[in-house]
Structure formats: structure tokens, C-alpha cells
Amino acid sequence: MQFEINNIMQTIILAIHIILAVSLVVLILVQHGKGADAGAAFGSGASSTVFGAKGSATFLTKLTTFIALIFFITSLSLAYFASNIQLDNKSLLEKEITTQQESVNPPNTDNQNNLP
């Protein structure tokens, strides 16, 4: 039961992690660099018209920082889940051999020890 809960939680965090990664890439690509203002001086007048002259930089920068922080937290949680997986170190052949030995040698069910 505990393994199923961890598996479901890991899947949910992985989905959130992928969404954050895509949105982080999109946000970084939307932001204009420091050299974009030089292009506006040479005739490109629509460099920052969506959020105003300077409003875009602060809003998108804060949003990118927030998403990057959540991305970092999900990365750490996925690493934690990956490190807590209990691996069975037996090979398939060893598992089959022990299963066959258990079926060939049934447990001792003698009731002679219980006699008075």
C-alpha cells in the first residue's frame, strides 16, 4: 500500500515538474534581453508594448524566479523518491530457485512435538 502511494505521488510530482519545465522555457523565451532596447532605438517601436515600458521586466522576472524555485523543489523531491526505492538485489534465476525450493520442501507440519 505504501509503495502505491509513493508511486502515485511520484507520478503527480513528475507531471508538475514537466509542466514547470515547459512553462519555464516559454517564460525565458518571452523575456527580452538587455540588447532588445538597442533595437528599439533603431526603429522597432513595439519592443515592450504588452506590459508597458518597464512592467514586463519585473513581472516576468518575478514569475520566472517563482517557477524556477518550484522547479528546484520538485527536482529535489523526485530525487528523494528515486533514492528511497527498495531494490531487490536477487536476480530472476535466484528468485526462481528459492521459489522452487520452497515448493519442493514444504514446511514441517509434524504435530509430534505437541503430544503429551
pLDDT score at 73:
97
Give pLDDT tens digits for 69-92.
999 999 999 999 888 776 666 677
| Residues in the chain with pLDDT values less than 50 | none
pLDDT score at 97:
77
What H or E segment, with its residue span, contains residue 73? helix 55-83
> Is the sign of the CA dihedral 73, 78, 79, 81 positive or negative?
positive
pLDDT score at 43:
57
Per-domain boundaries in the chain: 2-104
pTM of the model: 0.58
